[in-house]
């Protein structure tokens, strides 16, 4: 099979690494890829949001399957365009990808299909939104409605902070058009959980559980990011309970969309809060999570490519996937200033030490080659340093040992990924 992988981040590097192991693969392309992905695929200079260019390339090269990593082309309807041309593609339609493309659409769909979620209101008028937060009980969560690269969610402890946040999002437009509409919801308290499944629109296969760390700095401080690290499995949640959570949080969406004539095909990711009153859905994503993918795929024994192909064809035949018993942790090394502005082009040293490692994987999230053939920083999240271990403590120690050997100017990471789970002797 000739496969085209769309994207250029750590998630796509992990996907490229896993797809490249499949005996079904004859050639892997990545558009546009990055310095790390180039070790597994031929990178082609077509942007992930250049749907016309991607369609032309896939047609010319007679690609057997296209796998879409990031959310932007999915929400823009890339799967519809490919399908219309008779090309197989893994990912949801543009209509169903609006589960991630619009927070308001997602919340309304949860209400329609009976999925528990926090009470919310939707606003397009900034004055009305400000009046609402002044009169509301705090804390609250303000979400830009559209895509904001994982940064469009702000937890506000006071009305003053909420008003300032609305000014930033709706008036100063720090997230562009994504902030034309906002969702304001009650802040939930509890344990966060990420649940990802594969589905062809009817059958649902769960992926390994994971726990993401969104805040930029240790002890869950600082602004929200696209994710600063993750671990898997999330053993604080028994496997039986995961099945129950899927029945509450994911199955109603899959079955409801199917009934309404919009089958969801691809990965469906639910971000949940496990409260004293039970699980509540915080958000849905329409693609593999990042950095969850970097801790889930190293634990996957099964060949991923056949499942992706079957879903693209609308006929998922697998009943389950096989997983390693080991724990996995990933720690993101980011550029100074992230998730705000940051500089690019700093050389990265120490990467060569991990090329032959079987239990340490350095997935490139934002890297490139410079004119001197050096690997340099090219994004806010630069590397996802990942390690396997017999338990989470072993994986944690191995990941941070690897980080100690990698350097680039201004680089930083959280030092506490997985600490709460380790302290509770859960994993």
Summarised one tens digit per residue, pLDDT across range 264-302 is 999 999 999 999 999 999 999 999 999 999 999 999 999
pLDDT at 237: 74
CATH number of 125-180: 3.30.1490.20
* DSSP annotation string for 349-409: BSGGGGTT-SSEEEEESSEEE-TTS-EEE-SSEEEEEEEEESSHHHHHHHHHHHHTT-B-T
| Orientation angle between helical segments 239-249 and 251-259, nearest 10 degrees | 30
Give the CATH superfamily of 191-312. Answer: ATP-grasp fold, B domain (3.30.470.20)
Q: Within 10 Å of residue 88's Cβ, how many Cβ atoms?
A: 21
DSSP secondary structure string for all residues of 139-175 = PEEEEESS--TT--EEEESSHHHHHHHHIIIIIS-TT
336-345 CB burial, b ≥16 within 10 A, e <16: bebbeebeee
pLDDT digits (tens, 9 = 90+) for 84-126: 999 999 999 999 999 999 999 999 999 999 999 999 999 999 9
Residue 36: is its pLDDT beyond 80? yes
C-beta of residue 331 within 8 angstroms of C-beta of residue 403: yes
> Which is more confident, 14 or 152?
14
Question: Going by DSSP bridges, is the β-strand pair 278-285/327-334 parallel, antiparallel, or unpaired?
Answer: unpaired
Its CATH architecture, for the domain 2-97, is: 3-Layer(aba) Sandwich (3.40)
pTM of the model: 0.93
Residues whose CB falls within 8 Å of the CB of residue 309, separated by 6 or more in sequence, listed in order:
1, 24, 64, 65, 88, 90
Report CA 114 to chain centroid distance, whole Å.
Answer: 24
In the three-class reduction of DSSP (H, G, I as helix; E, B as strand; rest coil), residue 286 is classed as: coil
CA–CA distance, 115 with 62 (Å, rounded to integer): 41
Could you give the CA distance from residue 224 to residue 212 in angstroms, rounded to a whole number?
12
**pLDDT above 90 coverage of the chain, percent:** 89
Q: Is the dihedral of CA 86, 3, 202, 212 positive or negative?
A: negative
Res 425: pLDDT: 60
Average pLDDT over residues 153-164: 95
Which of 40-49, 207-216, 326-335 has the least mean pLDDT?
207-216
Radius of gyration of the chain (CA): 21
Nearest CA to 190 among 118, 111, 109, 103? 118
In angstroms, the CA 313 to CA 343 distance is 42
Residues 6+ apart with CB under 8 A from 289: 11, 194, 196, 210, 212, 227, 230, 269
189-241: pLDDT as tens digits: 998 888 999 999 999 999 998 989 989 999 999 988 889 999 999 877 777 78
Q: Which of 26, 69, 18 is nearest to 301 (CA)?
A: 18
427 confidence band (pLDDT: 50, 70, 90)? very low
Mean pLDDT of 26-51: 97
Q: What is the mean pLDDT of the chain?
A: 94
User: Domain residues of the chain, as ranges?
Assistant: 2-97, 125-180, 191-312, 327-423
pLDDT at 5 over 50: yes
The whole-number pLDDT of residue 43 equals 98
Vertex 85, ends 80 and 91: CA angle to 5°?
35
**Quick one: tokens of 113?**
């299909």
- Class for the domain spanning 327-423: alpha beta
């Amino acid at each position: 099979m000739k496969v085209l992988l769309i994207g250029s981040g750590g998630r796509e590097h992990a996907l490229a690494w896993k797809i490249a192991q499949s005996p079904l693969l004859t050639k892997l392309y990545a558009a546009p890829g990055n310095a790390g992905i180039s070790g597994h695929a031929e990178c082609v200079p077509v942007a992930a949001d250049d749907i016309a260019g991607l369609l032309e390339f896939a047609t010319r090269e007679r690609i057997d399957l296209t796998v879409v990593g990031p959310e932007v082309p999915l929400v823009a309807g890339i799967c519809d365009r490919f399908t219309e041309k008779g090309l197989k593609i893994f990912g949801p339609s543009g209509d169903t990808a609006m589960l991630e493309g619009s927070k308001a659409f997602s919340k309304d769909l949860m209400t329609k299909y009976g999925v528990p979620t926090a009470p919310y209101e939707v606003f397009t008028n900034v004055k009305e939104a400000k009046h609402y937060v002044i009169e509301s009980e705090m804390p609250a969560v303000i979400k830009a409605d559209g895509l904001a690269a994982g940064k469009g969610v702000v937890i506000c402890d006071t009305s003053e902070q909420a008003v300032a946040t609305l000014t930033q999002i709706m008036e100063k437009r720090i997230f562009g058009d994504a902030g034309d509409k906002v969702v304001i919801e009650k802040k939930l308290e509890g344990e966060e959980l990420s649940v990802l499944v594969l589905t062809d629109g009817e059958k649902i296969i769960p992926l390994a559980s994971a726990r993401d760390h969104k805040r930029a700095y240790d002890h869950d401080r600082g602004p929200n990011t696209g994710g600063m690290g993750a671990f898997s499995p999330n053993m604080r949640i028994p496997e039986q309970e995961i099945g129950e959570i899927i029945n509450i949080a994911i199955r109603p969406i899959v079955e409801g969309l199917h009934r309404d004539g919009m089958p969801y095909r691809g990965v469906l990711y639910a971000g949940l809060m496990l409260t004293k009153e039970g699980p509540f859905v915080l958000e849905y994503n329409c693609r593999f999570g990042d950095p969850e993918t970097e801790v889930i795929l190293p634990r996957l024994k099964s060949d991923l490519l056949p499942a992706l192909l079957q879903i693209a064809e609308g006929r998922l035949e697998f009943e389950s996937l096989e997983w390693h018993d080991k724990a996995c942790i990933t720690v993101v090394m980011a550029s100074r200033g992230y998730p705000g502005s940051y500089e690019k082009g700093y050389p990265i040293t120490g990467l060569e030490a991990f090329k032959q490692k079987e239990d340490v994987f350095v997935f490139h999230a934002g890297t490139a080659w410079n004119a001197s053939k050096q690997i340099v920083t090219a994004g806010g999240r630069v590397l996802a340093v990942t390690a396997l271990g017999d338990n989470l403590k072993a994986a944690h120690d191995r990941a941070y040992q690897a980080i100690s050997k990698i350097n680039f100017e201004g680089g930083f990471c959280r030092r506490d990924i997985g600490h709460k789970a380790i302290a509770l002797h859960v994993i």
